[in-house]
Amino acid sequence: MKFDKATSAPEHHVASSSPAGDVMVRYAHLEGAELLDTMINEAFPGRIAVSSSFGTESAVLLHLVSQVAPETPVLFLNTGLLFAQTEQYQRSLQKQLGLKDVRIIGPDPDHLEQYDPKSKLHKSDTDMCCHLRKVLPLQHALGSFDAWITGRKRFQGSARSELPFIEHDGSHYKINPIANWSPQELKDTFVAHNLPHHPLEEAGYTSLGCYPCTNLPVLGSDARSGRWVDQNKTECGIHNAPWAGDSI
């Protein structure tokens, strides 16, 4: 299947006049809250957003953002296939942290009607489903930004094991301020700042996406092993570069 160019995500290029210059070189020595503060308030003021799944570890990054600049746009991808508990968690965490600009991003209704009218695309092609419900909506939402912040960590395994603090996806700078944090550091932050846990964490979930493609983690494997079980797939596509926004 192919999207018409008119309905695909717009191309976006980092502004050549960006005061950050070569961001990956200039700020390579920063991480954590210091990196966040610099990216939000110095390198990309008004031109940076946070992407969050409001999953089991999301509260840590969102807490840091709330301390640095709570007005920073937070992009929450609601695919229409999320656990109800994730949507509830988004609302409660947003309120507790005082996040002032959470934007709920969803797939294009016309695309759903044309390509996935019965919400069963995930059964035949998970890549297409993720592209329709995640990649294209986020790409559209990021059209007015030069950079975005993620909560990915190296310990999550697979393609994330050598994750840099700053990278470029072909269209935007991507900032990964807690890339080197350990599971224990995350746990300590939850305790130190009284952060609420995702309701499904108690049931044993360590990584949450859409409910049709999320299972409990595989015993003895990494935290994301419950995602797309028995498939040759470890990422939904939003972190793959370069994005191919004109096809599904």
Q: Catalytic positions, please?
A: 236
Side chain identity at 209, as an amino acid letter? Answer: G
Q: Whole-angstrom Cα distance, residue 66 to residue 53?
A: 16
Residues 6+ away with beta carbon under 8 Å from 241 = 168, 169, 170
> Which distant-in-sequence residues (6+ apart) come within 8 Å of 193 by Cβ?
63
135 within 8 A of 75, measured Cβ to Cβ: no
